Structure 1
């Protein structure tokens, strides 16, 4: 492997993980902006803007964008989160120049009024669609309740009201501030031509103007909260709990991954044996989410309404037992191996490495080689997990329930 980095005079950073043995190249434009960077009147603009990037530029129509991706045989997509918006594609190495040209062109969109009006309807339909997905609803309620006013609790989609009121000029102003080169990282993985990529990106993007894209980074004030949102139309109860965890910049994040795997990493986890295997809950899992300056554990479960109280009690007691008594060496070892295996398998293609490499640089200003990450995961000891549990994070658990709660015991 070889690691490359170059910064243009306007602040646009280009990084790469070169693999001579790869058969493809993956390229992504990582923009450090998401729902946490929005004000209430702009709620949902980051995700809406992601859609607009595919609507064409001064050089291409929306149809021509799609046709160009198809002509290269590209695997491509984009996503928006609370903190980042990423546009990416993977192609054979001979199409590197065309993919860079297309992605760079997309990131300077026309934002035409008629496209804005049309896509607004699509976004409103998407919001309505997700309202009919109870797992999504309870997750959004849990994020909002846990963060209680902190920008990390902002909705990525926004609301029907905020999107309806949003104007094209507001989006353009947000675009100019947040899609500035000093707020972006271009990432390449696989078999790429570094010198050609740098020269092309400098020619294509070197004239982009810098912008004020600062972000206030603070930790949310975690509190032990409980919120029950009744919806008699549902036939199951959906639970989501949130607790504080290490940030994306904290070395304890490796121990946090292991802890989440032991407690809720599917079959074989403690929550599985406590809730799913005996048939008390339909599902139960736990994950760790690293964020800029903060982090969180997310626990979710679904169950029959009549077993809601039983499931909540078992969920809380499982977390409390782990917090008070710690983990066994055998549990830690199994979780380490499982996480390391999944990481290595995902990294077998340039596309599988792209987001990891990009976020390494976005969050920590350094690309961590795969072997180093694997070594750090495999080095997590029982004492490391115990140290993570010592501040008793699950005492600050926020628990949210959604569904036919009137039927709950």
Structure 2
């Protein structure tokens, strides 16, 4: 998409290759800042499975200048909101603070990205990760979403588990983590993003001074490649999960969807709201309001080079076959007949209002800014985003529906009983 650079957007590339970008609003009462690292599950090998997320934890465990206690104490002292997360494509460390604390927070976050990766802390945190894996394994929906990603994409790349497996974490070595860190946490693989009441010139100068040594991180050699004829240990690609104590059944499907670059992504987001929003959508009226299901929804997930369309259905096991037929009927009708102008107008108004309200907080704008700049090297201002939604037509929604709702998809069912026979559609 051709777009002009918004006046409030400033960017720079430092001498070491680190990219800095800021969406500036001097009227704001807060500032948000974060490091976006191209290091996610799809970047890992089998022996590194779960390492991006494990490494995210280790960033809070101390540096040459700060102990783990110092890191957490300073985060509390500066107030605001601070956290981190890992996905298939990136790891993000962020904080929202008062503008007067910008320098201190940038100093802290930047220092955190040079962790000591102490072996004792590594051993301790390994147990925390294993407990996290065990916790999610007790939740049927989480296991179903992991499994459908693995079945659809294979157990590597986008299908690799963000948390890793019990086997991969138990067998992980701190030397493997250090090598992965040096390979992925390089300045040209990172974006420093900020939004709100930001001193951009000060941000650039501070980052230039503090990250100069990042380019000196040694590049590991002899990276072992995976054997594509095998499956990683601990991976099961059976499309059914038996969950003995589950009171309900959970069905997840995954088909193709628009990528972060696709021109259909806005039409697809609106289409999914019309069909599967949690209030007032077609699936809501047919399955939720009637008491047939607890959850019946769909949504797109956009990756850099591809996309996914998820559907999610939760109901009593005995009702699953009939509800699948009802859900498929709704999707097929939309694919063949499209949507009404009144439906589209309503969801555009709702989406535009939501975007405006979310944009009032710099921390909300930060994630879209950092992720887009890291993956695509661009960013839409609020006005451009609103124009993109308002520019969606009935014809564009119909094209999205015909492209993505008619396709076959991968299905996974988690239940305490034998899965129902496949339902056509």
Indicate whether 1:347 and 2:359 are aligned: yes
Match for residue 311 of structure 1 among 303, 312, 323:
323
The alpha-carbon deviation at position 144 of structure 1 amounts to: 1.3
Aligned to 2:234: none
Indicate whether 1:167 and 2:167 are aligned: no
User: Which deviations, in whole Å up to 9, do the C-alpha atoms of 1:271-293 show, x marking residues without a partner?
Assistant: 11121111111111111111010
**Separation of aligned partners in 2, 1:106 and 1:170:** 19
The alpha-carbon deviation at position 390 of structure 1 amounts to: 2.9
Indicate whether 1:12 and 2:24 are aligned: no
User: Which deviations, in whole Å up to 9, do the C-alpha atoms of 1:28-87 show, x marking residues without a partner?
Assistant: 000011001111121100000000000010100111001111111131000000001000
Aligned to 1:365: 377
SS in 1 for 2:162: coil
SS in 2 for 1:100: helix
Contact 1:306 1:407 (8 Å CA) reproduced: no
Aligned to 2:393: 381
Query: What is the aligned length?
Result: 399
TM-score of the superposed pair, with normalisation by structure 1: 0.94
Contact 2:331 2:405 (8 Å CA) reproduced: no
Match for residue 292 of structure 2 among 260, 276, 280:
280
TM-score of the superposed pair, with normalisation by structure 2: 0.90
Aligned to 2:85: 79
* Structure 2 residues not aligned, in runs of 5+: 1-6, 221-236
User: Which deviations, in whole Å up to 9, do the C-alpha atoms of 1:223-258 show, x marking residues without a partner?
Assistant: xx9933222321110111112111001121111111
Change (3 A) 1:320 1:192: same
SS in 1 for 2:292: coil
Question: For residues 114-263 of structure 1, what are the structure 2 equivalents within 5 Å?
Answer: 114-149=120-155, 151-209=157-215, 227-263=239-275
Aligned to 1:55: 61
Contact 1:226 1:398 (8 Å CA) reproduced: no
- Range moving further from structure 2, 111-120 or 198-207: 198-207
* Structure 1 residues not aligned, in runs of 5+: 214-224
Indicate whether 1:31 and 2:43 are aligned: no
The alpha-carbon deviation at position 355 of structure 1 amounts to: 0.3
SS in 1 for 2:407: helix
User: Which deviations, in whole Å up to 9, do the C-alpha atoms of 1:143-178 show, x marking residues without a partner?
Assistant: 111213551111000000000001000000000000
Aligned to 2:231: none
